[in-house]
């Protein structure tokens, strides 16, 4: 679907899990579509932070660490839905028993540090939203949090965002589709980034360069 | 109502040093710091479950009378330090937020909010 939409780089960032990343990377390999491994962690403050990593190994190591701080609460499928793990042929491999829709017991700085320690980039997810966004939960970016970028969702205009949050001008601003289903995976919901090649290293180089002229939101 | 009287009634002791007794003009409860920044009135006592150091920065910004961290959670170390630094009285209690707010209300503390 991503390929049909003409996307040239996607990231898989499930909530508190990386269980489906490997399968999607395999499919991406077969189709020639680069897939970046990632995770969306819900911190103690109910802030959603995205970690995008250089390799599958890195995201799995990060996931292992996060899971040490994910309370052992069982999922209730009738309320939260099944937490299904698929293989690269779209067959159900199993499901995750522990509830993923909850906060880990680590704060934003701890999660940010762990992402960095695993070689990843840290992006504050959907910061324009009242709930689960860094600004909504914590009011402003804590001085001690190292952020590589902030993300606004597809419903929010960049101009309005910059107008309301001038202090965030120092971070690269991305817009991602945050697609939870295939129908949301729309080309125009994502940012255009001018990078050497569609890879993690090139994306990281862009975010660290602070050269925001190379990011275009539509 | 005086802060010392509230602390005594709810059996609260500050998480750092002592505090200067001041007049509490009302109360506010929210865990969304953005909401508190926008709406809580000055000299309010703020009841929350958040423990991040930004709590103190926001409390200082709105000129809160005090912060009560409810629900038996412990503030982060940075939060304690910052509270001491900026002189915001910080209390923790095992009582859930609902109980704390209920008890404050019984004492005559009323909700305050700045109009947007």
Q: Identify which of A44, A131, A140 has the shortest CB distance to residue B54.
A: A140
Give yes or no for B37 touching A (CB within 8 A). Answer: yes
Burial of B41 (0-12, 13-18, 19+ CB in 10 A): middle
Nearest to A98 by CA among A75, A119, A70: A75
In chain B, what residues touch A44 (CB-CB under 8 Å)? 51-52
Cβ contact, residue pair B33, A138, below 8 Å:
yes
In chain A, what residues touch B32 (CB-CB under 8 Å)? 130-131, 136-137
In contact, A22 and A7? CB cutoff 8 Å: no
Give yes or no for B73 touching A (CB within 8 A). Answer: no
Nearest CA to CA, how far is B108 from chain A (Å)?
29
Nearest to B67 by CA among A111, B76, A108: B76
In chain B, what residues touch A43 (CB-CB under 8 Å)? none
Q: In angstroms, how far apart are the furthest CA atoms of chain B?
A: 35
Q: Identify which of A44, A107, A139 has the shortest CB distance to residue B33.
A: A139
Q: How far is CA B66 from CA A187, A207, B11, B101, B108, in A?
A: 48, 40, 15, 13, 16
Q: Write out the E strands in chain A.
A: 10-15, 35-42, 48-52, 84-86, 92-95, 121-124, 149-152, 173-175, 192-193, 215-216
Cβ contact, residue pair A107, B52, below 8 Å:
yes
Beta bridge partners of A37: A12
Cβ contact, residue pair B34, A137, below 8 Å:
yes
The percentage of chain B sitting over the pLDDT mark of 90, rounded to a whole number, equals 86
For the complex shown, is ipTM > 0.85? no
Q: How far is CA A25 from CA A86, B39, B49, in A?
A: 12, 46, 39
Would you list which residues of chain A are within 8 Å, Cβ to Cβ, of chain B? 44-46, 107-108, 130-131, 135-140, 142, 144
Q: Identify which of B58, B76, B78 has the shortest CB distance to residue A139.
A: B58
Nearest CA in chain A to B77: A107
Q: Please tell me the distance from the alpha carbon of residue A148 to that of residue A117, in angstroms, as a whole number.
A: 14
Instruction: Please name each of the domains of chain A with its CATH number.
Output: 10-70+100-208 (3.20.20.140)
Mean pLDDT value of segment B48-65: 95
- Which pair of tokens denotes residue B6? 């509230």
pTM of the model: 0.90
Q: What is the pLDDT of residue A29?
A: 95
A85-88 long-range contacts (CB < 8 A, ≥24 apart) are A85/A19, A85/A20, A86/A20, A86/A23, A87/A23, A88/A22, A88/A23, A88/A24, A88/A26, A88/A27, A88/A30
pLDDT tens sequence across B17-30: 778 899 999 999 99
Q: What is the pLDDT of residue A186?
A: 81
Q: What is the pLDDT of residue B116?
A: 54
Fold topology of B3-106: 3.40.1390
The ranges assigned to domains in chain B are: 3-106
pLDDT tens sequence across A20-71: 999 999 999 999 999 999 999 999 999 999 999 999 999 999 999 999 999 9
Q: Give the A:B interface size as CB pairs under 8 Å.
A: 41
The percentage of chain A sitting over the pLDDT mark of 90, rounded to a whole number, equals 73
Q: Write out the E strands in A45-133.
A: 48-52, 84-86, 92-95, 121-124
């Amino acid at each position: 679907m991503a390929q049909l939409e003409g996307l040239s780089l996607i990231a898989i960032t499930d909530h508190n899990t990386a269980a489906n990343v490997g399968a999607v990377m395999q499919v991406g390999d077969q189709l020639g579509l680069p897939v970046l491994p990632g995770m969306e962690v819900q911190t103690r403050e109910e802030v959603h932070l995205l970690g995008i990593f250089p390799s599958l190994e890195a995201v799995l190591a990060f996931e292992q660490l996060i899971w040490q701080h994910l309370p052992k609460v069982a999922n209730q499928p009738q309320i939260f839905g099944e937490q299904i793990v698929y293989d690269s042929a779209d067959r159900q491999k199993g499901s995750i028993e522990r509830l993923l829709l909850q906060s880990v017991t680590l704060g934003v700085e701890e999660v940010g540090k762990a992402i960095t320690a695993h070689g990843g980039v840290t992006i504050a997810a959907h910061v324009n939203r009242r709930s689960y966004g860094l600004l909504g939960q914590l009011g402003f970016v804590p001085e001690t949090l190292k952020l590589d970028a902030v993300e606004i969702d597809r419903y929010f205009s960049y101009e309005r965002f910059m107008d309301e949050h001038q202090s965030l001008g120092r971070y690269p601003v991305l817009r991602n589709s945050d697609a939870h289903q295939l129908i949301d995976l729309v080309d125009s919901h994502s940012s255009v980034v001018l990078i050497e090649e569609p890879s993690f290293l090139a994306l990281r180089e862009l975010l660290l360069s602070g050269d925001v002229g190379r990011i275009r939101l539509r | 109502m005086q802060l010392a009287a509230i602390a005594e009634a709810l059996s609260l002791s500050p998480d750092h040093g002592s505090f200067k007794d001041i007049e509490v003009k009302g109360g506010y409860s929210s865990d969304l710091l953005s909401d508190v920044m926008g709406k809580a009135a000055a000299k309010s006592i703020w009841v929350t479950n958040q423990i991040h150091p930004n709590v103190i920065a926001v409390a200082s910004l709105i000129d809160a009378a005090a912060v009560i961290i409810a629900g038996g959670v412990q503030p982060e170390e940075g939060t304690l330090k910052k509270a001491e630094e900026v002189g915001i009285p910080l209390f923790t209690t095992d009582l859930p937020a609902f109980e704390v707010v209920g008890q404050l209300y019984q004492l005559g503390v009323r909700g305050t909010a700045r109009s947007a």
